[in-house]
Structure 1
Amino acid sequence: MQSEARTAVSAIPTQQPGDLGWDLGMILRGYQKRLDEAIEGMPEGFRGFQVLSTVVHRDPPNQQALSAHLSIDRTVLTYLLDTLVEADVVERIPAPEDRRSRKIIPTKVGKKLLTTYEKRVAAAELELLTGLEEQGQDSKVFRRLVGLLAMTIHQADPNSDPCAAIDHL
């Protein structure tokens, strides 16, 4: 098995400057295709999924913190939340520490919806990463390294919008 893994890795051509962009673009396209199918029907698509996931798993103290965490402009987030509120996915309540601001909480419908979509997204991600396992590589290592790189980049530029970067590809 070890020699098979070396063979698969040695079959990768020498990387040239600029190849990383092509590689990331191909990964992103593969992810985007699978994700589009996985989140079909989710109010506000991937952004709606991100908001709901963040509200459930990270419990930001108010709408401003949610906006900052997701790097979504506050006015854009307002419209996004309006749609999610209308769909009974989340609700706005006065923030406990400052009644002038709003905290976003999931509804029962939203929690159930998130459970459904998380399973679908997890299956899509597993399908995308299957190629690594088939080549004798560890997808968990890949995900960990990508996560570390993403956090390093985010810490250097916390206001950058990953969705805007995708739009510019």
Structure 2
Amino acid sequence: MSESLQTLQTGPSAAAPGDFGWHLGMVLRGYQFLFEEAVEGMPAGIRGYQILSTVLHRDPPNQQALGAHLAIDRTVLTYLLDALVDAGVVERVPAPSDRRARKIVATDNGREILAQYEERVATAESELLSGLKEPEADTLATLIARLAMDVHRSQPGSSPCEAMDHLP
């Protein structure tokens, strides 16, 4: 047995191969529970929040780019956008680069709503990370972001929503 594998398998808190997935699943479940509570009342729920946040913070050039960024099927995205338009938080406008395409923009109401929900989400995230010291939480967030981008680059069609739906 290699020395690194022996080291990994010794001690009362040693993680066995496969434990990483269980740990990620538990953290994701905890996050999902807190996130769902934080966005309660948001038109289209978690996905509505993610769409509105992406529209405001990433400014995708058109509806297709928005769907690709969030890995949301275009048919599903249409229904979600309909709900957000009906709620008055976004609107569809002609994309400047292609008048046949639509760009999704936030309304003033959408900006106000997102600011309120971002405070709630930030509180939920702080609650989830409350067992860590602040530098540890910052390091974890940085490392998870880097790892997520690596996975996204290597598997660009992967949907985080599907991953959550298929957790055991």
- Using the TM superposition, give the Cα deviation of residue 17 of structure 1 relative to its aligned residue in structure 2, in angstroms: 0.9
* Two-structure CA RMSD over aligned residues (Å): 1.3
Residue 146 (structure 1) aligns with: 144
* Runs of 4 or more above 4 Å deviation: none
What is the DSSP-based 3-state SS (H/G/I as helix, E as strand, rest coil) of the residue aligned with 2:42?
coil
State the partner residue of 1:167: 165
Q: Distance in 2 between matches of 1:103 and 1:12?
A: 54
Q: Which residue of 2 aligns with 1:79?
A: 79
Q: CA deviation at 1:163?
A: 0.3
Name the CA distance, whole Å, in 2 between partners of 1:40 and 1:22: 27
Letter in 2 for 1:143: A
CA distance in 1, matches of 2:36, 2:117: 11
Change (3 A) 1:12 1:70: farther
CA shift, 1:18, in A, is: 1.0
Following TM superposition, by how much is the alpha carbon of 1:25 offset from its aligned partner in structure 2, in angstroms? 1.1
- Measure how far apart 1:26 and its partner are: 1.0
* Mapped pair 1:50 → 2:50: yes
1:125 corresponds to 2:125: yes
What does residue range 85-104 of structure 1 map to in structure 2 within 5 Å? 85-104=85-104
2:36 paired residue number = 36
> 1:106-144: per-residue Cα shift (whole Å, max 9, x none)?
0111000000000000010011111012xx861000000
Separation of aligned partners in 2, 1:151 and 1:129 = 21
Answer yes or no: is 1:112 the counterpart of 2:120.
no
Shift of 1:12: 6.8
TM-score, scaled relative to structure 2: 0.90
CA shift for structure 1 position 89: 0.8
Distance 1:152 1:24 in 2: 16
Larger relative CO (CA 8 A, sep 6+): 1 or 2?
A: 1
Residue type of the partner of 1:85? V
- Specify the SS of the correspondent of 2:94: strand
Q: Give the 3-state SS of the residue equivalent to 2:60 in structure 1.
A: coil
Aligned length: 157
Structure 1: where are the runs of 5+ without partners?
A: 1-10
